[in-house]
């Protein structure tokens, strides 16, 4: 887990992610956590493509911390791409659990 304090995130459906607004700034506290998140997202993307494995992603919205269980199809410089063209800004992701 990345070094942020998480209260119980609200589990949401992947399809509802388009309804949320995301903070503009980085949600992680240290550069070490940001770099670790990048490594974990790359692993999760590989698992999603090779094995269709789902992960749990905790992310921050302007309405609080949410969690989604999904397969990551791609990771770009700024976004995580999920099935159906749904994206989550990487700077809003607090944790990824496989």
Q: Is pLDDT at 3 greater than 90 in this prediction?
A: no
Alpha helices, DSSP H only, in 22-74? 31-51
Tokens linked to 60: 């921050």
- Structural domains for the chain: 10-97 (2.30.30.100)
Please, is 94 exposed, middle or buried when counting C-beta atoms within 10 Å of its C-beta (0-12, 13-18, 19+)?
Answer: buried
Question: Could you tell me the pLDDT band of residue 7, with boundaries at 50, 70 and 90?
Answer: low
Q: Is the pLDDT of residue 64 over 70?
A: yes
The 8 Å CB, 24+ separation contacts for 74-79 are: 74/45, 75/41, 75/42, 75/44, 75/45
According to the model, what pLDDT value does residue 1 have? Answer: 45
């Amino acid at each position: 887990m990345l070094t942020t304090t998480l209260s119980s995130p609200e589990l949401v459906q992947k399809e509802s992610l388009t309804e949320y607004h995301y903070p503009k700034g980085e949600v992680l506290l240290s550069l070490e956590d940001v770099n670790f998140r990048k490594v974990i997202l790359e692993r999760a993307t590989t698992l999603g493509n090779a094995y269709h494995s789902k992960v749990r992603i905790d992310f921050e919205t302007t309405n609080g911390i949410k969690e989604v269980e999904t397969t990551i199809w791609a990771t770009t410089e700024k976004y995580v791409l999920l099935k159906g063209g749904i994206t989550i800004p990487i700077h809003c992701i607090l944790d990824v659990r496989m």
